[in-house]
Amino acid sequence: MPLVAHSRLPAFDALRGEGLTLIPPELAAANGLPSLRVGLLNLMPDAALQATERQFLRLVDGYGGQANLFVYPFAVRAEYRAEIAVAHIATHYSTFGQLCDAGLDALIITGANPAAPDITAEAFWSPMIEVIEWGHTNVDSIVCSCLATHAILQHYHDTSRTELAARQWGVYAHELLVPEHPLLAGVDAIIHAPHSHRYAVSAADMERAGMTVLAVGSEAGLHLAVSGDPARFIFFQGHPEYDAISLLKEYKREVQRFLTGGRKTYPTFPEHYFDAAAKRRLEAYQRQVTESDFEQDTIPAFPEAELAGARENTWSAAGRQIYRNWLAGVAARKSRT
């Protein structure tokens, strides 16, 4: 069955506008199917908060199994958030306490923009670990995205992430190392996925911690790994949830940081993402803004709208299939209990 739009979360309306079929809670209550309850811990910063909701809801919308799928966004303490984000969370998110009381079948923990070299110094570290430890004993399976993957390695295995010499970002190919694994049913032998991180853990780090590495790339390294059989933890370092324009928006943000003095060098292109025409247009923009003197309020607009429509998404089909397999496994195990 489709995803249940059980609240007034704006992301539900946005997905309907994209043509996805969501069902209201009254239909879910009447169709006689069991419920599958998934918590979505959203750690992303304010500017990406709602986009992240949409991205992960798109991934799980492909489930299509014989259960009503309910996804409950929630957040941890929000002292570092702006007032508008706090209001959005207060209005549309569940609290962790509410979800503990009601129970969940599975968890998704998003990534976050690192603010400190030491991951344990992040403002959300302690409450995030509280959620992870609760989930470890109270839900069937937890999907961890990027920084959340690094957090598990640090917390349970005392394995610190490594700071890369340069940011790893772009769209990369990955080889399936265990193609017979249930999570990879129906997935091509080579899958693509975006990466965007300054810190990383390696496939060797995962293997030393007893994890099974499922997908790795010659350029980007670790993409997907699991712990346990069935998978208690699923670890992504890549970002199958990204929109086609996510890396374009990140590139724009880095350009703006350069223009406002937030970074010393003009950003390089994400790898394997922009085509030749897009690179020519962006190189022209770079020349325009770096070879002339502009006041901050007169800097020419970044050509985002001009380039957005040409970005191709080559990764979401594989991501949706992996999430479909994950949810099918959770639902099957729940039906046997």
Active-site residues, by number, are 146, 239, 241
The first and second tokens of residue 303, run together, are: 């050509």
Whether the ω angle into residue 34 lies within 30 degrees of 0, i.e. cis, is no
Say whether 87 sits in a helix, a strand or coil. helix
Residue 171, beta-bridge partner list:
194
| Rounded distance between C-alpha atoms, residue 65 and residue 61, angstroms | 10
Give the CA distances from residue 80 to residues 83, 84, 89, 123, 124, in Å, rounded to whole numbers and listed in that order. Answer: 10, 12, 13, 7, 9
| Rounded distance between C-alpha atoms, residue 40 and residue 71, angstroms | 7
| Rounded distance between C-alpha atoms, residue 329 and residue 110, angstroms | 20
Provide the strand spans (E) within 157-239.
162-176, 190-200, 212-217, 221-227, 233-236
Q: Is residue 54 a contact partner of residue 14, using CB atoms and an 8 Å limit?
A: yes
Provide the strand spans (E) within 127-275.
141-145, 162-176, 190-200, 212-217, 221-227, 233-236
